[in-house]
Amino acid sequence: MSLPDYVRVEYPRACPKGGATPIISVVIPAYNEAERIPLYLDAIQAYFAKRGEAYEVLVVNDGSRDRTAAFIRERMARDPGLGLVHYDANRGKGHAVRMGMFAARGRLRLFADADGSTPIEELERLRVKLEQEGFDVAVGSRQLSSPEVKRKIKPHRFLIGQVFRLLRQVFLNVRVLDSQCGFKLFTSAAAEKIFGASKIDGFAFDVEVLYLAGRAGLKTAEVAVNWYDSTSTRVNLLTDPAKMFRDMLRIRGLHRDTRI
Domains of the chain, first to last: 8-154+180-202+218-232 (3.90.550.10)
Q: What is the pLDDT of residues 110-139, one digit of tens each?
A: 999 999 999 999 999 999 999 999 999 999
Mean pLDDT of 14-21: 84
> What is the rounded distance in angstroms from the CA atom of residue 91 to the CA atom of residue 83?
20
Residues belonging to the chain: 260
Residue 77 has pLDDT above 90, yes or no: yes
80 CB-contact burial (10 Å; exposed 0-12 / middle 13-18 / buried 19+): middle
Residue % of the chain over a pLDDT of 90: 67
Residue 237 has pLDDT above 60, yes or no: no
Mean pLDDT of 64-83: 97
pLDDT for 200 equals: 95
Strand ranges across the sheet with 8-10: 8-10, 82-87, 55-62, 24-30, 108-112, 183-187, 137-141, 220-224
Mean pLDDT of 81-95: 97
Q: What is the pLDDT of residues 178-222, one digit of tens each?
A: 988 999 999 999 999 999 999 999 888 999 999 999 999 999 999
246 pLDDT band, cuts 50/70/90, is confident
DSSP per-residue string spanning 61-119: EES-SSSHHHHHHHHHTT-TTEEEEEESS---HHHHHHHHHHH---SEEEEE-TT-SS-
Q: What is the pLDDT of residues 149-174, one digit of tens each?
A: 766 666 555 555 566 666 676 677 88
pLDDT for 235 equals: 58
Longest dimension (CA), the chain: 49
pLDDT for 240 equals: 62
The least confident of 25-29, 92-96, 202-206 is 202-206
Average pLDDT, the chain: 89
96 CB-contact burial (10 Å; exposed 0-12 / middle 13-18 / buried 19+): buried
Residue % of the chain over a pLDDT of 70: 87
Residue 27 has pLDDT above 70, yes or no: yes
